Structure 1
Amino acid sequence: MATDTQGEIVNKVKQSEKLVTIDLQEYFDSTPRTELDLKQFLFKGMILKEDDFREQLENFDWSQFEGQYVGVYCSTDAIISKWAYMLVGQHLATHAKEVFKGKVDDMLYELYRRNLKELNWSSYQDKFVILKGCSSKEKPVPEGVYLYATQQLLPYVKKLMYGEACSNVPVYRG
């Protein structure tokens, strides 16, 4: 902070037109997300028996995934055929908003990337940009999202920082 000629405190950080803070949490998709572990449909959690697998899928309550993003994965080292994922996807298609391969963190990254893809990155030309560092548990920002945003910003920004305006970590200076 500095003082002007009349003794008033002036926030030069806020006055700077070249300093921009991007809060990645603003691009969070609040649609509920959940995971489906294929282990539960495998014989002894490890072996895919087609007839048993199909029967379990038919008897499973898919309505629990209504309107949600669902990440499909297997927590064991079982070999899962591609057609098995297709069958699960077919059952989820009428209930889930969208189905992803992987866990919640994998889909969270993809959802952020989609939303950030719409951003006009060139609007940060010659600016000093801070990627806000703190995220809440309600709107987590995976590390990969910071990597993605960094790659998009580097061709345009004069300086890239992480954190807050009052205490930031310099990342890049062009």
Structure 2
Amino acid sequence: MATDTKGEIVNKVKQSDKLVTIDLQKYFDDTSRSELDLKQFLFKGMILKEQDFRDQLEQFDWSQFEDQYVAVYCSTDAIISKWAYMLVGQYLASYAKEVFMGRKDDMLFELYRRKLNEVDWSSYKNKFVILKGCSSKEKPVPESVYLYATQRLVPHVKKLMYGEACSNVPVYRA
């Protein structure tokens, strides 16, 4: 803080048009998300028996995934054929908003990545940018999203920081 000629306190950080804070949470997609572990459809959680697998999928309540993003994965080291994932996708297609391969964090990264790809990163040319550091449990921002945003910002910014304007960690300087 500094004082102007009238003795008033001036917040130079707030006045600077070169300092920009980006809150990655604003790119959060709040559509409900679920995971589906294929282990539950495997014999002893490890072996894919085609007919048993097909029967279990047919009897499964897929409606629980209505209008949700669904991450499909297997928590065991079972060998699962590609056609098995296709069958699961075929059932989910009638209910899920979209199906992703992997865990919830993989899906969350992909959803952020899509929105961040729409950003005009060149608008941050020669600016001092802070990636806001705190995120809430309701709108989590994984480390992978910070990494992705950093890759997009570095070619444009004069300085990249993490945290808040009052206490930040310098990450990059041109």
Q: Describe the superposition over 1:141-165 as per-residue Cα deviations: whole angstroms up to 9, x where unpaired.
A: 0001011100101110000000000
Report the equivalent of 1:39. 39
Q: CA deviation at 1:4?
A: 1.3
Structure 1 Cα separation of the partners of residues 13 and 82 of structure 2: 53
Structure 2 Cα separation of the partners of residues 54 and 9 of structure 1: 71
2:75 is paired with a residue whose SS is coil
Q: Which amino acid is the alignment partner of residue 137 of structure 2?
A: K
Identity percentage over the alignment?
A: 83
Structure 1 Cα separation of the partners of residues 7 and 108 of structure 2: 48
Structure 2 Cα separation of the partners of residues 20 and 59 of structure 1: 53
2:134 is aligned with 1:164: no
2:21 is paired with a residue whose SS is strand
Any gaps of 5 or more consecutive residues in structure 1? Answer: none
Q: Describe the superposition over 1:104-138 as per-residue Cα deviations: whole angstroms up to 9, x where unpaired.
A: 10000000000000000000000000000000000
Structure 2 Cα separation of the partners of residues 138 and 12 of structure 1: 33
Structure 2 Cα separation of the partners of residues 7 and 66 of structure 1: 61
Structure 2 Cα separation of the partners of residues 10 and 110 of structure 1: 41
Structural mapping, 1:57-136, within 5 Å:
57-136=57-136
Report the equivalent of 2:141. 141
Aligned pairs, how many? 174
Q: CA deviation at 1:88?
A: 0.2
Any gaps of 5 or more consecutive residues in structure 2? Answer: none
| Aligned-residue CA RMSD (Å) | 0.5
Given the two structures, how large is their TM-score scaled by the length of structure 1? 0.99
Structure 2 Cα separation of the partners of residues 87 and 111 of structure 1: 23
Q: CA deviation at 1:7?
A: 1.9
Structure 2 Cα separation of the partners of residues 161 and 95 of structure 1: 42
1:77 is paired with a residue whose SS is coil
Runs of 4+ in 1 over 6 A off after TM superposition: none
Q: CA deviation at 1:71?
A: 0.3
Q: CA deviation at 1:3?
A: 1.6
Q: Describe the superposition over 1:60-90 as per-residue Cα deviations: whole angstroms up to 9, x where unpaired.
A: 0000000000000001111111100000000
1:114 is paired with a residue whose SS is helix
Structure 2 Cα separation of the partners of residues 3 and 138 of structure 1: 40
Structure 2 Cα separation of the partners of residues 107 and 89 of structure 1: 15
